[in-house]
Amino acid sequence: MFYDFRLIAWLSEKVARVFAGKIVEGDHHEPDESDWSWETDLEETSLQLPPEFVARFFAVLSKLFDRGFGPPQIEIIENLTSKLQFGQTRQLNFNPGRKGKPVTLQILLCRLNPETFTVGIRSTPAMVKAIDGLIAHFQASNENED
């Protein structure tokens, strides 16, 4: 499934102005097209997550990195998602490492549905391929639990 994150970000901002106030977070800012697409060689993927699976998904995602994306970053994401109201979108930029090399990791969190979050992830093509495999495995394991 493919999402146009620029359209989602634009729509969510329009909805956010009507339905929700701004979240005041020092380390977070409203995404715009220039933030989300500043590197042209990145690819993107996305998934829908209920709130109770957000921390677990990012804990699994953290295993792809050697450094720079672990419990402190997951705590930031959990804190942000707990405050994210319907119609709001936030972007987080991380620079974790994998095999000794820095990796760009951009995460877009959208609360376009009261019951789920849309999570968009942009990174290098190789990382997106690995993340897509992780997403498929994560979704399959969660379906088996139900």
Per-residue pLDDT tens, the chain, 146 aa: give them: 455 666 666 665 555 544 433 333 334 344 444 444 445 688 999 999 988 899 999 999 999 999 999 999 999 999 999 888 888 899 999 999 888 888 899 999 998 888 888 999 999 998 999 999 988 888 888 776 65
Query: What's the confidence (pLDDT) of residue 60?
Result: 92
User: Six-digit token pair at 81?
Assistant: 């998602």
Give the type of residue at 135: I
Whole-angstrom distance, CA of residue 68 vs CA of residue 62: 9
Residue type, 104: T
Per-residue pLDDT at 128: 92
Is the pTM here over 0.85, yes or no? no
From CA 54, how far away is CA 61, in angstroms rounded?
11
Please state, in angstroms and rounded to a whole number, the distance separating the CA atoms of residues 5 and 56. Answer: 23
